[in-house]
Structure 1
Amino acid sequence: MAEPDLNLLVALDVLLAEGSVMGAARRLGLSASAMSRTLTRLREATGDPLLVRAGRNMVLTPHAEALRERTRDVVNEARGVLRPSASEPDFATLQRTFTIRANEGFVEAFGAPLITAITAIAPLVQIRFAPKAEKTALHLREGLADLEIGVLSEMGPEVRVQALFRDRFLAVVRKGHPLERERNVSPERYVAFGHVVASRRGQGTGPVDDALAASGLKRRVVAVVPGFPAALAVACASDLIALVPASFVRNRLEHGESQPPEAIYTFELPVETAQITVSQMWHPRLEADPVHRWLRQLVLGVCRQREALWRD
């Protein structure tokens, strides 16, 4: 029996990731006709159409969907086998760009000390913080991101996870807000005012709403904004209450960015909500990479150091 052409695996991986002949051709540096011929060979090899026309676009068949992650893992494993054995990196001359997916709050609170720690050891390394429009392991699986930082969600069983620090949410209002005069804000007073919520996905509810509902209360969400900086800015210019992580607030108070420390007033939520654990996540193909391991250790060290500073 003829041996299969293993070069087709790379083309299959890209086709399944792109879901498009043209997109796969661009990534592989091939012409559209050459990519179409490759798709024909893949169809013959797998006995499945793989990509089929749906209107003006193409979609994966069920068999192609089932093959996507397996193909990605096989290709990554093959690349690892053919990669030179790891040696101790020369950080003084290391030139590499790391892509870290994180929300604005993390970048504001930890971005500067992390960049300082990295460039002090590896001055030629570049850090690219990418926005998290959604929670998905796709960017890690496809090598589009080196790290994902945030609250753990359904990322798939293969994704590696390490806890960085624990955080909690605080309520924030402008200085001079009626609630500033109250020593202990009651749940009833908390829901008496409108609220501004930060959500990348446009969701207006969360754990605090569940806790309020247990007491028969409901807050009125007046506005939903994409990030914590925007929520804080709205709260500082209105009577709305913002809900933001303590780490983000402490960083703002420490540096006086955008809103000076004297412009905001914070208080504990009047209902019990669970603390959140912020973690870093990566794909297992980078587990043994000495440079990536060095990056993970620096991220962990910076986060733990900042957490200890705020706790003191």
Structure 2
Amino acid sequence: MSDPDLNLLITLDALLAEGSVAGAARRLRLSPSAMSRALARLRDTTGDPLLVRAGRRLVPSPRALELRPQLGRLVDEARAALRPAAALKLSQLHRSFTLRTSEGFIENFGAALVTRLQQEAPGVRLRFVPKLDKDSAPLRDGDVDLETGVIGRDTGPEIRARPLFHDRFVGVVRQGHPLSRGRVTAARYAAGAHVLVSRRSMERGPIEEALEALGLQRRVAATVTGFSMALALARGTDLIASVPERHTGHLRHGLHTFELPLPLSGFTVSQLWHPRFDGDAAHRWLRECVQACCGGETGLGS
């Protein structure tokens, strides 16, 4: 059995409201003959006459009277669903957003973001979850509303992205470390003991490649899976940590930061979302808040 034509609901609603084919035709801007054909289709679909002649007008059948309350509600709901979205009222917004963020985002941008959202929309709740990989499935499946990170090969082609800021790797050591004094050369940097950050147990990366091009090699004394752990080791030992500058701004407090003496390219951190949220006013507002809170630059220094 084929699905009924849902346009017939609007036709029947007009017929019941007007009580005549001509009146319903004028309401829907159709010709009387087109409306008569639509009534015939309605009768065939429902198996009921729906409207019967009584003098000069049509009167509803018992089945039509039974349908009228339900029909009016359905038509009103359909029209409401197809209207443009109402203007966003932040003071009345009650919604929960899930943000998947890279390490360091909460420490550096989280407080400013939560403060702004609470000031503008107290009914909004944020749920932060860690970004352990670049798989776009959580965005695609709707488990995550927004995420931050670097666009990679694993990023789904349909995913929308907007740059937040440019970042680069810097070197970090404890105060009083030999590299906290004097000019840091590639040879001095490579000669020290290092803590490597690797989530996939990879021992080689851009730093190794840049050192090899100079005929140098660094010695890795410890491997961790996160930048905060690398900085914790650098804070209490003579290990050298190499971490993103912007994403570790607050985490590096009290440590000595220096520019890496290597020809390394920087990278862009973006916010990413699924296109289903392109037209969502509340989601657009969230994206603008994230954009504003991630603005500005963080300089080198202790």
Compute the TM-score of the two structures, normalised by the length of structure 2.
0.69
Radius of gyration: which is bigger? 2
Shift of 1:197: 2.0
- Give the 3-state SS of the residue equivalent to 1:278 in structure 2: strand
Contact conserved, 1:188 with 1:217, CA < 8 A, in 2? yes
Would you identify which runs of 4 or more consecutive aligned residues in structure 1 move more than 3 Å? 81-85
CA distance in 1, matches of 2:220, 2:231: 14
Check the 8 A contact 1:119/1:125 in 2, yes or no: yes
Structure 1 residue aligned with 2:235 = 236
Structure 1 position 144, deviation (Å): 0.6
- Which residue identity does 1:120 align to in structure 2? Q
SS in 1 for 2:187: helix
| Letter in structure 1 aligned against 2:230 | A
Deviations 1:231-261, CA, capped at 9 Å, x for gaps: 10001111110011111443245xx4xxxx2
Classify 1:84/1:194 alpha carbon distance in 2 versus 1 (closer, same or farther; 3 Å): farther
Whole-angstrom CA distance in 1 between matches of 2:248 and 2:137: 31
Give CA-to-partner distance per residue, 1:36-92, whole Å, 9 cap, x none.
Answer: xxxxxxxxxxxxxxxxxxxxxxxxxxxxxxxxxxxxxxxxxxxxx968742212211
Aligned to 1:159: 159
Please give the alpha-carbon distance, in whole angstroms, between the structure 1 residues aligned to 2:104 and 2:82.
36
* 1:269 match: 260
CA root-mean-square deviation: 2.1
Cα separation, 2, equivalents of 1:173 and 1:275: 21
1:119 alignment partner in structure 2? 118
Given that residues 170 and 245 in structure 2 are in contact (C-alpha distance below 8 angstroms), is that contact kept between their aligned partners in structure 1? yes
Report the 3-state secondary structure (helix = DSSP H, G, I; strand = E; otherwise coil) of the residue aligned with 1:145. coil
The corresponding residue for 2:289 is 298
Asked if the contact 1:100/1:148 (under 8 Å) is kept, the reply is yes
Other-structure match for 2:141: 142
- 127-136 or 242-251: which moved more? 242-251
Do the aligned partners of 2:164 and 2:294 also contact (CA within 8 Å) in 1? Answer: yes
| Partner deviation per Cα, 1:243-286 (whole Å, 9 max, x = no partner) | 11111443245xx4xxxx2xx21111011111111000100010
Match of 1:178 in 2: 178
Q: 1:2 to 1:115 in 2, by over 3 A?
A: same
Q: 1:273 to 1:96 in 2, by over 3 A?
A: same
Q: Secondary structure at the match of 1:176?
A: coil
In the comparison of the two structures, how many residue pairs are matched? Answer: 223
Give 1:205 shift.
2.8
User: Cα offset for 1:133?
Assistant: 1.4
Tell whether the 8 Å contact from 1:203 to 1:224 is kept in structure 2 after alignment. no
For residues 208 and 174 of structure 2, what CA distance do their matches in structure 1 show?
22
Matching residue of 1:169? 169
**Equivalent position SS for 1:196:** strand
Label 1:84 to 1:131 Cα distance change in 2 as closer, same or farther (>3 A): farther
Q: Match of 2:106, SS? A: helix
Q: Distance in 2 between matches of 1:187 and 1:168?
A: 17
Distance (Å, rounded) in 2 between the aligned partners of 1:133 and 1:250: 20
Unmatched runs of 5 consecutive residues or more in structure 2: 4-79
Q: Distance in 2 between matches of 1:167 and 1:148?
A: 17
Secondary structure in structure 1 of the residue aligned to 2:194: strand
In structure 1, the gaps of 5 or more residues are: 4-80
